[in-house]
Amino acid sequence: MALIAYAGLVGFVVAPTSVVARDRLLSVELDGRPLDANSPSGLLHQGKAFANVVRIVKSFSGLLTFGKNDSLVRVTIGAHTADFTVGSRRGAVDGQATTFSATPFVLNGDTYVPLDVVARLAGATLSVNTRRHVAQLVSAPPSAQP
């Protein structure tokens, strides 16, 4: 972890910088509407799109379960389930071991998971515009969902 020093009028303070200092906030939209009108609900982290797991699962009316020390996260949307471990790319989708495209993490008490995995669970189409900092999810018609 890098340290940055700040000199102020009152004194000298040393504060750690976040690993995500170069990350960008990401507005996540589902069927043309933001998941949260008050604040972005995702991040572009190391070139990958992540979503706040609570907000994204709620938007799909899914089920979210946290396990041991909140490092194990189970997301269920419809008939599909993904098991994530914070800090590890290894997990499972529908009971099959897999390696995810990116590593879930916790930032400021919120857990973020790779958005592409959640889109796959929901049968949604995902497009990410890194210039506009927007991720767009389009739901599949009910008869076309996996």
What fold does the segment set 22-144 form as a domain? Copper Amine Oxidase; Chain A, domain 1 (3.30.457)
Beta bridge partners of 128: 135
Nearest to 53 by CA among 39, 66, 34, 69: 66
User: Each residue of 89-145: pLDDT tens digit?
Assistant: 999 999 999 999 999 999 988 999 999 999 999 999 999 998 889 999 999 776 555
Would you state the pLDDT for residue 113?
97
User: Each residue of 56-98: pLDDT tens digit?
Assistant: 999 999 999 999 888 999 999 999 999 999 999 999 999 999 9
What lies within 8 Å, CB to CB, of 38 at 6+ separation is none
**φ, ψ dihedrals at 117, nearest 5°:** -70, -45
Would you state the pLDDT for residue 16?
33
Domain boundaries, the chain: 22-144
DSSP state of 131: T
Among left, alpha and beta (phi > 0; psi -120 to 50; other), residue 98 is beta
pLDDT over 80 (residue 19): no
Tokens read off for 90: 């290894």
